[in-house]
Every structure is written in structure tokens, then in C-alpha cells.
Amino acid sequence: MKISFLIHNAYGIGGTITTTFNLARALADRHDVEIISALRHRERPNLTPDPRVRLRPLVDLRHEKNDPRHLTPAKIFPSSEYRYRQYSALTDERIGEALASLDADVVVGTRPGLNVHLALQAPEGTVRVGQEHLTLDNHPPRLRNALRRVYPRLDAITPVTEADAAAYRRKMRLPGVRVQALPNSVPAPTLPPADGRERVVMAAGRLVPVKRFDLLIEAFAAVAAERPDWQLRIYGKGEERERLRALIDTLGLHNNVFLMGAVTPMEAEWVKGSIGAATSNFEPFGMTIVEAMRCGLPVVSTDCAYGPGEIITPGEDGRLVPVGDRDALAGALLDLVRDDELRRRMGRAALENSRRYAPGPVVAQAERLFEELLAARDEGLPPARGTDHALVSGGYAAKDTALVAASSVVRTVRKARR
């Protein structure tokens, strides 16, 4: 297959960029893959794409930010979308031209505004897949209404959790559009996993209010009071840094809690710890949870919507605590700090259980989804509708038996089309 991803800005840092690069890299083993970046602001990406994956920017902000067209508001990218102010008549024009000339079998959008472009502008013969890296409920009502009008033109919507996929089916009611969860993937670390011996709790993410690193620091004060030889290391950058630094000083934790700054990639840091922590009020997926588990760390997380509860098996590879409950969080951390054998056993389970998020299983799910959608389109069939557990369990969700037969001829049809 020839597969194109349309992303906001592949030259930045963030979970969507990471998971898009991961998926593109894994798909490139067997397919022709490109990433189209709507925006570009620097010479080289922060993350290094696989050399087999073409990276094509459309608007270079280093030279075009003052172009009169870029100073004119966008008309296609929805005004209710979070990134709207970064889009313009120039991005409308460039994205439209890129999609009009596309010869891909499958094009994948990576945020709602770009999914709108796909729905309205992608070629009729191309399968259109809209990824959802946030959640439906996270979008304002105006945006949900805008999506409800145009999303019926897509072939599939792929939220990253089963809970959000269920919300899409229940609330959006998009006839003929397949809604199926497709989790993010995390490659296997190249370093040996953590052995649970280090006296370090690790956390990572943007230093923003929703991540509640203040709650984590306050909870860790109880750990440091009982076990002063333990440390908390928080990786990331953001608007909360100075406030978190002041909190550390106020609590007298300057010898125990460290703001480490942003580090990419993180695997060399994860393996230096023994426990992972995630304390968000809201988490569409939980990439850092999976990253920590892939490095052999059990994770203590708030049981927030949507991702942590689908990733962590409480008591086996981590712990879930109520959102905002400092005492429960401190207690869960202390349980693992106090019990070396429990910590190591849960770390081994985390390493094993997180393999389901390896690129291999996730790419197999994506390939199956794309081929079924191609077969349905080429044979004039409606897309098969996913079930609430189809992809995470590795199951097969097709309801139309004709689709099974159609999938066997998809490669022949694609060759004929070309």
C-alpha cells in the first residue's frame, strides 16, 4: 500500500508526532509511506524519521509566516479547533493542493481540523482515515457539531482507546463510518530494562496544569519523609516549571525532587528508575505510561479518563488511584517503595504486558483495518463496523461476510487502479 499521514507540525515535540513517526516507521517495512506536515518551523525535526519515510512540509514558517495568505483566516480548517489560529488561507491552499495530487491508497489525518480537510478534499478513490488523539468529549460542542457534518465522508475514525471509540459510536452516530480503536505504539527499548533496584520514581510530560505534577510532588513528600534516600525525577518543559520549582522549595524537597527538563528519547532515563508515575486529571491515552512499562517500570497512575485504565492492570503491573487523591497516590507509591520483591515482580509484569503496544501488533491491526477499508471501497461495500474490543484484543470485527472475500482481492484491485 501507499500510505500518507497528514500531521500538524512534524518538526515539533509531542505524543501525536511520536506515535505517527513510530507507526510510519513500522509500516515502512512493507509499504510506501510518507508524512505530510502542514507546518514547518525549523530545519530538522526534533524526532528523526525513518529514512524510508518521506517527510514533506507544506508551509515553511521560517519564510512564509508573513505571507499575506498566511495572515488571512482559514476557511476549511474549523474555527472551533484548538489549533485554528495557526492555520490560514495559505494552509487551506497548500493542504488542498497536496490532497488533490495525492496518489495514496490510504490517507490518515491526525487531528480533527486535518480530518476535516481529508473529508472534504481527499480524492474519492483514496481511503480516508481520521485519527483521534484527544477524545470526543474533550472537543467543544461547536467542534463536535462541525465534525458531525463532515465526518460521514470519512471511511473510518480511529480513537486511541476503546472508551473513546464507544463514545464516538454512541454520540456521533456516523452511518457508514467505521469507528475502531487503534492504540499508540511504542518501540522496544534498545537498552536492558530497569531491574527495580534504583531508588527513583520517574514521571514525564508537559509541565501543564492537567498533568498535576504538583499533586505528585505533594504525594512524594510522604515518600521522602519515610524514605529520604528515594528521589522523584520529572522530565518535561512547560508553563508550570516555576510554580513546581517553588512548590519543591516550599516543601523542602530540593534534595529529593528534580525537574530534569525535556529529554528525547526518554528510554535511557526510564531505565534509571524503578517506579513510573502519572497523575493527570485527563489522559487521552498515556504514552508515558506505556513507555515506562516498556522499560520495565510498574506505574502508579490516577484512574482518569481515558487511557490509564486500559493500559494498567491494577495489582499486576501497576496501581490506579482516584484522580486528585494525594493520600491514595502517596500510599500506592509507598507500597512499591517498601516492598522490593513486589516492585520487581510488577516491573516484570509491566514489561510483558506492555508488549501489546509494540509496533508489530499495532501495525498488524492498522494493516488489517486499511486493507478491509480498501476492499470495502473497491467492492462498493460499506466499511465493516468495529466492536468495542476488536483491535486491542486482536479480534476481527467485520460484520459483512462479503468483506472477507473482498479483502483477498485488494492487492489486485490496487494494481489495476494504478
Asked whether residue 292 carries a pLDDT value surpassing 90, the answer given is yes
Greatest C-alpha distance within the chain? 70
pLDDT, one tens digit per residue, over 95-120 is 999 999 999 999 999 999 999 999 99
Q: Which residue has the higher pLDDT, 154 or 48?
A: 154
Percent of the chain at pLDDT > 90 equals: 84
Asked whether residue 383 carries a pLDDT value surpassing 90, the answer given is no
Q: Amino acid letter at 171?
A: K
Report the distance separating Cα 201 and Cα 195, nearest Å. 13
Please state which of the ranges 270-274, 297-301, 385-389 shows the lowest mean pLDDT.
385-389
Residues ≥6 apart with Cβ < 8 Å to 49: 10, 21, 24, 25, 35, 55
**Equal fold, 2-185 vs 200-357:** yes
pLDDT confidence band for 15 (50 / 70 / 90): confident
Asked whether residue 246 carries a pLDDT value surpassing 50, the answer given is yes
Asked whether residue 413 carries a pLDDT value surpassing 90, the answer given is no
> If you average pLDDT over residues 6-19, what whole number do you get?
92
Asked whether residue 177 carries a pLDDT value surpassing 70, the answer given is yes
Domain 200-357 has CATH 3.40.50.2000: yes
Q: Which residue has the higher pLDDT, 381 or 247?
A: 247
The overall pTM is greater than 0.85: no
Domain 2-185 has CATH 3.10.180.10: no
Report the distance separating Cα 178 and Cα 384, nearest Å. 6
- Parse the chain into domains and list their residue ranges: 2-185, 200-357
CA distances (Å), origin 87, targets 5, 153, 190: 18, 22, 38
Write the burial class of residue 281 (CB in 10 Å: 0-12 exposed, 13-18 middle, 19+ buried): middle
329 within 8 A of 223, measured Cβ to Cβ: no
Please state which of the ranges 57-71, 282-296, 329-343, 400-414 shows the lowest mean pLDDT.
400-414
Residues ≥6 apart with Cβ < 8 Å to 183: 160, 161, 285, 357, 362, 391, 392
Residue from 374, 326, 399 nearest 3 by CA: 374
pLDDT confidence band for 294 (50 / 70 / 90): very high
Q: What is the average pLDDT score of the chain?
A: 90
